[in-house]
Chain A
Amino acid sequence: MLHFVQALQHNSWFIAMNSSIAITSFFEVCHYAGFFLLVGSIALVDLRVLGIAGRRQTATAMAEQLFPWMWTGLIFATISGFLMFTGDAIDFYGAPLFRVKMLLLVAALVVGIVVQWQVPRWDQRGPMSLGAKSVALLSLLLWVATILAALEVPAINGVG
Chain B
Amino acid sequence: MMDQYAETFREETIELLSELEVGLLELEQRPDDADVIGRVFRALHTVKGSAGMIGFDAISDFTHEVETVFELVRSGSVAVSAELVNLTLAARDMIKSLMDAEFGGQPIDPEAAEQIVAALRSLVPDTKEIAPPVEAGIEATEPEVVEETTYHIRFRPPANIFHRGIRPLALLQELARLGSCRIIAETDAVPDLDELDPELCYLYWDIILATVHDEDKIRDVFIFVEDDCDLKIFAINDDLLDAGGGELRLGDILIQHGDLTHEQLAQVMSSQSKPKLGESLVQAGVVSGAQLDVALEVQAQVKRQQQKRQAIDEASSIRVRSEKLDSLVNLVGELVTVQARLSQTADGQDSPVLSEIAEEVERLTWEMRDHILNIRMLPIGTTFSRYQRLVRDLSRELGKEVQLVTAGAETELDKTVIERLGDPLVHLIRNSIDHGLESPEERQAAGKNPKGTIFLSATHSGANVILEIRDDGGGINREAIRERARTQGLLTSEMETNDTELINLIFTPGFSTVGEVSSVSGRGVGMDVVKKAIDSLRGSINVSSKSGEGTTFTVKLPLTLAIIDGLLVQVAEEIFVLPLSAVEECIELSREDVASANNKNLIRVRGEIVPYLRLRERFDLDGELPDIEQVVVAEAQGQRVGFAVDHVIGEHQTVIKALGTMYKDVKGLSGATILGDGTVALILDLPPLVQEAELDERELTDSIQEKMISFQ
Co-assembled chains A and B: no
Binding site for A on B (CB under 8 A): none
